[in-house]
Structure 1
């Protein structure tokens, strides 16, 4: 599906976070004069704390506290110098202790984010390539993107898909010096693991492969000397592995560390590593606390602490097995994720647990896809076993109530996470609502459909009958669409909601940067369906406008929307499509908060353009109403060409003319990578040519009237709207005859002659249309994806040279 462009991405994150803040879930403040780790005070309530990343509880260890206090008394609150010049007196001891833990070279960094920014650009050469697991932590992805400026290719694979990784390895094995695969050891949301053993086998098979692991969530609670999950799997650190750990989180102090067995590489990083050189060093208190923690890690006590935690983790796992809660990944890490699916369900569930006395984290976009929202529970040594049992009991009780209150079901949640529900459950239709879904417009009464959906674009009853004939029974799958016509009525037969839905193949880069699409189109020359997805959408790729009739004053209005979404999700499951899209909405739609809570992300579509003619009798009268600037544009950039061309209104082409205009359309389609879609089936033009509601405006040179240099393909919608659906152009003569501008003017002239009150000028070329008086309307779609992979991969491709 269409990529979320950077500003849209940030706007989406802002919308989601704002919604969660308003629900009392994010950006909270802990209260009280002290903190034990076992409980946390929020909103004047003492809650059992199941949201910490200090799994061993070392941040409350008296030895770490005393060391930090003593360091402040001796050295002050900070040591304000770059480490490149001189380190505070405690650094040497910390590095010595950490080296003993790992048995190899280590570098201390201010934190993992700055560490990645310092290390990745230092170790990756210009003739290398980076491959990211798409769930690798944001801080790693962000650091890798810095290398775009050096033209280092960055690829992405689906989470833990080693077949996909090997395919990328084969792609680069003969052209790149090193191939860097970057992943987490333990993933922070679901608590699942990197398949380290299998990855090492790939490393032996492909000697150019290098590994960069961020194992900050695997630290301390597992492994020899608490050195983490990755090193626990490896035994010792190979030369082709760089490993990041943390001195914060479970370690109990602050900072991060990089360990590396390649001394030359280690020296290169330590000598100059961007933020490692220019950023402030760790405060004396943090260094001293880290030393105290390292000393614990170097004694058998660390294994007692690990075992103590594992007892609690095993208890939680055993208790969850006896419930119907959707645990997304079953493993032995202290991180658990209970899926809620939609954000609104997550808000409800978290608030219920807080009222019961438990604090948990909400996992939300962009850390997870919007419809994969859920509750992240972390187990620590602070948690007493009776509190763990009480939490599971509370979740088991409140989860179905949260589903019910937010009008969702076990089935929808389990499907969102590709889980199989252990209970059977029927989705109940909302009482007093009746959904009609037909597979052909011929099964809908013409007058009934046109009353609620006619008068727009090409989707009155006659237009949809035309589209069905065009996009069915074609040889190529991208030209075969499934149509569904949905009417939702109340018990009196009043239509509350109406729409038509298509299931069709979309290019994932439809709205991506044209340069990105150009690169992808090169790959489609050998793999025509590369980066394409089945999408179930209101409306179609042939139409634009308000694809949803919705009586928002009806008392069952929201229930009708929810029924539509459930219906589309069921269709998505049946047809194995990846994405649901609701289009086209204006920015201030009252449904925004509701759709966002249902797991939809808002994305900007190309603006649409309309002209309201308001019974203007002639083209001269229309031009006279334009602004002085736009009249000047007409006189300077359009009028001089009118004497050089012949304009015709054609109701039916000859065979040779039809071939001409089809080629002209093909020219435009190939050049319009800013809205990158599949071409239309060849029979479209023949069916248009034979249809009474389609006509064509053509432009030809005055001295070559048989040569068409431009054509507008126009649909006459029930004398209510004139629709120039798309255009064909001869680009070699575009400037010579001002073809496109002439076609726009003649479209307005034809609409006036037909006494049609409105022109739907469609998407793209908004600037040219505005200069002829068109009103520009920003449009948005709401998208619900199976996962974030395609969005993130296209984001990686943006900016690559």
Structure 2
């Protein structure tokens, strides 16, 4: 009788995961049940009102009167949901939203999905199989998965392997990427680099340079810019699109989120040529076999898109970056991502217990944040993540900055080279 040792990724994760996250849940340091919200002030179900730095709605659009008005009107006129795939039946808001998004991404094709994860699940098999005519494949693709790519892409490895090999690379390391691209060229494979534009807990990616490198290798760059959408760029087109001068290279595909700074719910894909939309809309599994975004949120997305095409988006962006710069000032540029155009800041801790203790101190001072442990960061370490919003007040920012400086002066948090290497 043979013994079978499980070595799948979930078993590996389970065996390496400590009880730190469970402790955070038990102590009310994460997993917050919110009963009421006013701006960035939330009241929890168990009592207590706090300032939160958890939400990824970086522009505060999720409470905008126009989005709420649009959602209410949609419910009153057509109910909550048309429970059907878009190929069978869809709300009029859907083509309207895609048209508005195509105005933001001029000259490109845009298709809307229920989430960014659904974009990956729907588009990557089409890309890998050569089904997108403007992204031709030689004989076989070779997926280059950046080590910091979002989990929603990493988890698709088994699916991607049906179309070609999957190798993990460090795109930020020129030697790592150059070596991988040379290997693809030598084997006659089409390289496809999967990467985040702005990481949820890391810095910016040189989109333009990576696009050029992939172009030289006759490959493609697939960018998950979920955290970059809305916060920068003309009409809030996002970090990745603005990094290529608002003109999408022919070898780049963007995946974006409508659920973060955009203010609504869902995801979308941007391809360089609208002619590829037919293949996406008729072959992508989530669009053929899944339902569309629920009516109130779809209507809210339309209202948000109209705000993006107005001057108001510029005002919101300026408020966001004022707050981000203010936090950097109050923390003496010691946080992860300090000084770069990302709305995410973080504090690393050498142990999980130190991170938990810091989260307790911040909660006692009326501040809620997102504590992070393995597998998001290295085993045994901890990080407190802070999401800054245009809706935070100067007082909110100063309160957080002062609290972090207090934790630092007590010796609980000692910013190291690891923190600053991301800046």
Using the size of structure 2 for normalisation, the TM-score is: 0.90
Query: Could you give the per-residue CA deviations for residues 480-534 of structure 1, whole angstroms, max 9, x where no partner exists?
Result: xxxxxxxxxxxxxxxxxxxxxxxxxxxxxxxxxxxxxxxxxxxxxxxxxxxxxxx
The answer to whether residue 198 in structure 2 is matched with residue 186 in structure 1 is yes
Structure (1 or 2) with the larger CA radius of gyration: 1
Structure 2 stretches lacking a partner, 5+ long: 1-6, 130-138
The answer to whether residue 155 in structure 2 is matched with residue 146 in structure 1 is no
Query: Could you give the per-residue CA deviations for residues 244-277 of structure 1, whole angstroms, max 9, x where no partner exists?
Result: 1111111111111101013443322221111121
- Stretch deviating more after TM superposition (262-271 or 286-295): 262-271
Structure 1 stretches lacking a partner, 5+ long: 404-408, 421-801
- In structure 1, distance between residues paired with 2:183 and 2:189: 13
State the SS of the aligned residue for 1:174: helix
Match of 2:303 in 1: 292
Match of 2:118 in 1: 114
Query: Could you give the per-residue CA deviations for residues 147-189 of structure 1, whole angstroms, max 9, x where no partner exists?
Result: 22x2610011125223211110000113244210010000001
Question: Are the aligned partners of 1:244 and 1:258 in contact in 2 as well (CA < 8 Å)?
Answer: yes
CA offset at residue 203 of structure 1? 3.0
Match of 2:84 in 1: 81
- Find the partner of 2:109 among 102, 105, 116: 105
Equivalenced residues, count: 404
- In structure 2, distance between residues paired with 1:419 and 1:257: 32
Question: Are the aligned partners of 2:193 and 2:220 in contact in 1 as well (CA < 8 Å)?
Answer: yes
CA offset at residue 52 of structure 1? 1.4
State the SS of the aligned residue for 1:106: strand
- In structure 2, distance between residues paired with 1:16 and 1:227: 37
Matches within 5 A, 1:230-269: 230-235=240-245, 236-269=247-280
- Find the partner of 1:303 among 314, 322, 338: 314
- RMSD (Å), alpha carbons: 2.2
Distance 1:334 1:44, change over 3 A: same
- Find the partner of 1:386 among 395, 401, 411: 395
The answer to whether residue 19 in structure 2 is matched with residue 10 in structure 1 is no
Matches within 5 A, 1:780-799: none
Match of 1:625 in 2: none
- Find the partner of 2:128 among 124, 130, 142: 124
Match of 1:161 in 2: 173
Question: Are the aligned partners of 1:348 and 1:402 in contact in 2 as well (CA < 8 Å)?
Answer: no
State the SS of the aligned residue for 1:165: helix
Question: Are the aligned partners of 1:349 and 1:399 in contact in 2 as well (CA < 8 Å)?
Answer: no
Distance 1:29 1:11, change over 3 A: farther
Match of 2:229 in 1: 219
Matches within 5 A, 1:317-716: 317-321=328-332, 325-327=334-336, 329-401=338-410, 403=412, 410=414, 414=416, 417=419
Question: Are the aligned partners of 1:80 and 1:280 in contact in 2 as well (CA < 8 Å)?
Answer: yes
- In structure 1, distance between residues paired with 2:49 and 2:187: 59
- In structure 2, distance between residues paired with 1:5 and 1:56: 35
- Stretch deviating more after TM superposition (35-44 or 332-341): 35-44
Distance 1:11 1:20, change over 3 A: farther
- In structure 2, distance between residues paired with 1:107 and 1:63: 23
Structure number with the bigger relative contact order (C-alpha 8 A, sep ≥ 6) is 2
- In structure 2, distance between residues paired with 1:51 and 1:68: 24
Match of 2:94 in 1: 91
Question: Are the aligned partners of 2:337 and 2:344 in contact in 1 as well (CA < 8 Å)?
Answer: no
CA offset at residue 292 of structure 1? 0.3
- In structure 2, distance between residues paired with 1:253 and 1:321: 34
Question: Are the aligned partners of 2:236 and 2:313 in contact in 1 as well (CA < 8 Å)?
Answer: yes
Query: Could you give the per-residue CA deviations for residues 296-329 of structure 1, whole angstroms, max 9, x where no partner exists?
Result: 101122111111111111111222227xx55465
Query: Could you give the per-residue CA deviations for residues 610-633 of structure 1, whole angstroms, max 9, x where no partner exists?
Result: xxxxxxxxxxxxxxxxxxxxxxxx
Match of 1:137 in 2: 150
CA offset at residue 204 of structure 1? 4.0
Indicate the structure with greater strand content.
Answer: 1
Using the size of structure 1 for normalisation, the TM-score is: 0.48
Distance 1:54 1:167, change over 3 A: same
